[in-house]
Structure 1
């Protein structure tokens, strides 16, 4: 994948330091840059060269070379010498596995997600916020021969997906304002339409119990989602239910799948604090 393709990816935000980082004496810039290198990898970006990473992160290639060398020495990257590229290494994979393993909510949610997926003949995912995207931490599929090509670890749009909109609908007002500011700063031209969609989603969640995305994230995909607070110190999360239009349509999702999804999520609200 070229640097241009990485930058054009709809869920790639770049590796910008947060506002005020230079004035914050507690902020470790070198660590932030190393983590931003790791963040470049993802679905469709399994292997990258130094020049790809440099362009995506906005860093000099000499700096990226030192970062990738260090991360390789520590096991967070693996150097594929014959291709001159890097992949995520065992340490990064172990870290991700440990994070998922510590999320006990997945085990509690899985039977509920599976039941909705089978009843709706769709894919049902549990997701958490990841910057200006949503990251799948679990995914269950119904019996349909055709389903969404998403699995645990996949990252989707926060502003355009039903899952992301449901998260925005239930997060704290201060966090919502910060998300809005970041989205507006990232793309001023697209922001008015994104803002309208998010405001509409917040109202939807309050009025019908879920948020919708019928072709907004991907033209061929229909989905609904419900946000909730798992408790136990965990941040808000969201559960979606969706499928390609050839499998389902908005009417079915709203009339048949919606009550089942709302009932399933209601059983997860506050469950970690119980």
Structure 2
């Protein structure tokens, strides 16, 4: 059982610093109070662990719940860490570590297939490549890290849409419809086809959809049960990447790479 943190002494000394925000520090201490393997804590337990008065804890947990950093179970009248705090952790991981973790797995696939492999993250209605690995053959996809491509009409973008919640996906699709009403029927059809492909194969297909000479497979990289979602693709010349090659070769290989990346991201087990 965790011992009470009793942060008052530290805050008393910190309070001498006029730039120190006590309310913020207390909110962060509440989040730190959740130990490994503990799902739910109530206000009384949080107060005991942190030394923060219970009325203050109640206001802080309410605020953290509204911001998505805590989830409230009404039946238990207790809280658990929410997707917001997990997303922060994975954004840090994405910015600091996931490129290094993913790169060797991506490069091996690029070398084995003579394709371009890219890892991307969504930014509004675009995908941004955060890592790109190229095979040794002729470069067909001349995109580099930092490149931005459309979300709705690319394999990697539609794969990302497959990885997020239906509610969020519907909101984005509504924005796409409003932004491009003339092309929306075709865009909507391609998104639904990708959802069907993902349900059937576990990855999405693009056969000359975005660029006529390029075909690709892609799938979401879902981290911490959806707290953060990225996507990864594998593509090259449509002349050599037939439907059969995409479905029977590249797609399964890409699934293996995603599993390897996710396994590499798991923290070591303590025994």
Decide: shared fold, TM above 0.5.
Answer: yes
Task: Tell me the secondary structure at the aligned position of residue 129 of structure 1.
Answer: strand
Q: 1:234 and 1:103 mapped to 2: Cα distance?
A: 17
Aligned position for 2:64:
none
Aligned length: 177
Whether 2:182 is the aligned partner of 1:177: answer no
Task: Tell me the secondary structure at the aligned position of residue 268 of structure 1.
Answer: helix
Q: 2:262 and 2:109 mapped to 1: Cα distance?
A: 16
Offset of 1:103 from its aligned partner? 3.2
Task: Tell me the secondary structure at the aligned position of residue 178 of structure 1.
Answer: helix
- For normalisation by structure 1, the TM-score amounts to 0.60
Whether 2:101 is the aligned partner of 1:108: answer yes
Matches within 5 A, 1:127-138: 127-138=120-131
Match of 1:144 among 127, 137, 140: 137
Offset of 1:127 from its aligned partner? 0.4
Higher mean C-alpha displacement, 260-269 vs 213-222: 260-269
Q: Hey, which bits of structure 1, 4+ residues long, moved more than 4 A?
A: 270-273
Question: Using a 3 Å threshold, how does the CA distance of structure 1 residues 232 and 198 change in structure 2: closer, same or farther?
Answer: closer
- CA contact under 8 A between 1:229 and 1:270: conserved in structure 2? no
Aligned position for 1:216:
209
Task: Tell me the secondary structure at the aligned position of residue 145 of structure 1.
Answer: coil
Offset of 1:200 from its aligned partner? 1.2
Question: Using a 3 Å threshold, how does the CA distance of structure 1 residues 166 and 233 change in structure 2: closer, same or farther?
Answer: closer
Offset of 1:226 from its aligned partner? 1.0
Q: 1:195 and 1:270 mapped to 2: Cα distance?
A: 34
Matches within 5 A, 1:111-122: 111-122=104-115
Question: Using a 3 Å threshold, how does the CA distance of structure 1 residues 109 and 207 change in structure 2: closer, same or farther?
Answer: same
Offset of 1:232 from its aligned partner? 9.3
Q: 2:170 and 2:94 mapped to 1: Cα distance?
A: 31
Task: Tell me the secondary structure at the aligned position of residue 201 of structure 1.
Answer: helix
Q: Could you list the per-position Cα deviations for residues 171-197 of structure 1 after superposition, in whole angstroms to 9, with x for gaps in the alignment?
A: 112210111011000011211111111
For the pair shown, the structure with the greater C-alpha radius of gyration is: 2
Q: 2:177 and 2:122 mapped to 1: Cα distance?
A: 18
Offset of 1:273 from its aligned partner? 5.7
Q: Could you list the per-position Cα deviations for residues 226-254 of structure 1 after superposition, in whole angstroms to 9, with x for gaps in the alignment?
A: 11212398620111000122453333222
Matches within 5 A, 1:226-241: 226-231=219-224, 235-241=228-234
Q: 1:233 and 1:245 mapped to 2: Cα distance?
A: 32
Question: Using a 3 Å threshold, how does the CA distance of structure 1 residues 104 and 241 change in structure 2: closer, same or farther?
Answer: same
Aligned position for 2:245:
252
Offset of 1:131 from its aligned partner? 1.1
Whether 2:244 is the aligned partner of 1:261: answer no
Question: Using a 3 Å threshold, how does the CA distance of structure 1 residues 236 and 211 change in structure 2: closer, same or farther?
Answer: same
**Structure 1 unaligned regions, length at least 5:** 1-98
Offset of 1:206 from its aligned partner? 1.5
Offset of 1:155 from its aligned partner? 0.8
Q: Could you list the per-position Cα deviations for residues 44-94 of structure 1 after superposition, in whole angstroms to 9, with x for gaps in the alignment?
A: xxxxxxxxxxxxxxxxxxxxxxxxxxxxxxxxxxxxxxxxxxxxxxxxxxx
